[in-house]
A = this chain, B = another copy of it.
Amino acid sequence: MSMTNRWDATALAGLGEEMYRWIERLYPLCRSITGAGVEDTLAVLREQVPLHIERVPSGTKVFDWKVPREWNIRDAYVKDPTGRRVIDFHANNLHVVSYSRPVHKQVSLAELKAHTFTIPEQPDWIPYRTSYYAENWGFCAAHNVVNALPDGMYEVCVDASLQDGHLAYGEYLHHGYSEEEVLFSTHTCHPSLCNDNLSGIALNAMLASLISQVQTRYSYRFLFIPGTIGSITWLSRNQQRAQSIKHGLVVTCVGDGGPFRYKRSRRGDAEIDRAVEYVLRHTGGAYQISDFSPYGYDERQYCSPGFNLAVGSLTRSSHRQYPQYHTSADDLGFIGPNWLEESLSVYLKVISVLETNQFYVNKFPFCEPQLGRRGLYDDVGAHPDPNAFRMALLWVLNQSDGEHALLDIAEKSQIPIDTVAEAASALHHSGLLEMAAARP
């Protein structure tokens, strides 16, 4: 896999800045699970990745659900008795509850407050709220602002439409040597929130762009979908194809400075689980591993018992784990180019482990073959770490019985997987190994 070593720190330099600039462009768009904000977002991403855009009509049955009507919003505000806009969608699109039904009327302060969400503990932050499946109207605002409103009648206006239309999502498939797939899925339904999930969108697009430039063992599928209903829709339309997904990650919350957190797939010991944990263990920084739980992001759907796909979630500060979560404080200042670049690097290392993790079979399994007369000791001498390489040759020969892939051997021998892979490659070229099919 020449790609394995292609993405070292030098190669990635500047890509964090690039992702950050994409996020700056996408930040003002008012995304939801349907509507123009999503379409506009996908259009920006198509500048980087040749995404295929799928549009599924409202009302389409997807497993136990129906694709909802399309929500589009033009304006939303609250005017105080003097006519001043005290809550203004154009100032921050979090101000309107996502999927709020249209409304335009005068209401008392009491009624206004009954329809307005605030965070008393963080009185300057605007919360993010949705009402996808219960028809309602509502606003979100800073507690300090709402608290200071004088008594009187207020004009409330949500100039939105909720009509039959489409649910749109973006998809890009990179073909590898194998039709077995690695899935990277990110949700596109959040409005002006940066870590959750413009960071995931940008990282997923950058991964797709980088992978599109190399030859790979696996095929790679990148999904840009609204949360929950999007993955349900995709899985409903691709029930057979989903069986080709051998490994996957839900990409979200990768732009802040927190430690990496890996939430295992429902299987718990899938190859993706071992690959991510291997990379985090050897990356140097602090990290956390947690078992699967049926809460969080789209891993809930990929890991539903009927699919039980090997899909985990690799994040930094994630779902409900940081105070800025789902508030206006999850803004452009909360994330940083360096952290995005670091996350990109970890994701690429995971890909590298998956690509590398072949099964080989020793064609000379009875006693050790003679390495010297095949020039392999010359390779040892030429290697930057001759001792590790020599041991890697012996380990690969000894363990390549069809039961151990290279990641197994790296873990058993405590030799870096790159060195193990180099040894396997040398032995393969010498005719001592042959590639074997992965275990079913």
- Interface residues of A, Cβ cutoff 8 Å to B: 62-65, 133-134, 228, 231-232, 235-236, 239, 266, 291, 293-295, 300-301, 303-308, 362, 364-370, 372-373, 391, 394-395, 397-401, 412-413
Contacts and interface: CB of A to CB of B under 8 A. Distances in A.
Contact of A300 (B300, B365, B368, B412): B368
State the main secondary structure of chain A at its contact with B. loop
A304 B301 CA distance: 44
Contacts of A293: 391, 395, 413
B294 A395 contact: yes
A295 B231 CA distance: 50
A155 B95 CA distance: 96
Contacts of A63: 364, 366-367, 369
Contacts of A231: 367
Contacts of A399: 294, 305
Nearest 10 Cβ contacts at the A-B interface: A306-B365, A306-B366, A294-B398, A305-B401, A64-B369, A294-B394, A305-B365, A232-B367, A301-B367, A63-B367
A366 B133 contact: no
A372 B293 CA distance: 20
Contacts of A294: 368, 391, 394-395, 397-399
A370 B64 contact: yes
Nearest to A234: B367
Nearest to A372: B133
A415 to B, nearest CB: 10
B235 A304 contact: no
Given A395-B294, A413-B293, A305 B400 contact: yes
Given A133-B372, A293-B413, A398 B303 contact: yes
A386 to B, nearest CB: 14
B306 A367 contact: yes
A12 to B, nearest CB: 35
A434 to B, nearest CB: 13
A33 to B, nearest CB: 14
A295 B397 CA distance: 12
Nearest to A364: B64
Nearest to A374: B64
Contacts of A366: 63, 235-236, 239, 304, 306-307
A367 B304 contact: yes
A171 to B, nearest CB: 18
A347 B399 CA distance: 29
Contacts of A391: 293-295
Given A294-B368, A294-B394, A305-B401, 11 more contacts: A133-B372, A133-B373, A134-B372, A293-B391, A293-B413, A300-B394, A300-B398, A303-B398, A304-B365, A304-B398, A305-B398
Contacts of A400: 305
12 contacts: A62-B367, A63-B369, A64-B367, A65-B370, A295-B391, A295-B394, A300-B368, A304-B367, A304-B397, A305-B397, A305-B400, A306-B366
A329 B231 CA distance: 69
Contacts of A134: 372
A369 B412 CA distance: 42
A372 B65 CA distance: 11
Nearest to A132: B372
Most buried by B among A291, A294, A301, A395: A294
Contacts of A228: 368
Contacts of A398: 266, 294, 300, 303-305
A213 to B, nearest CB: 33
A239 B395 CA distance: 23
A412 to B, nearest CB: 8
A137 to B, nearest CB: 18
A233 B244 CA distance: 47
Contacts of A62: 367
A290 to B, nearest CB: 12
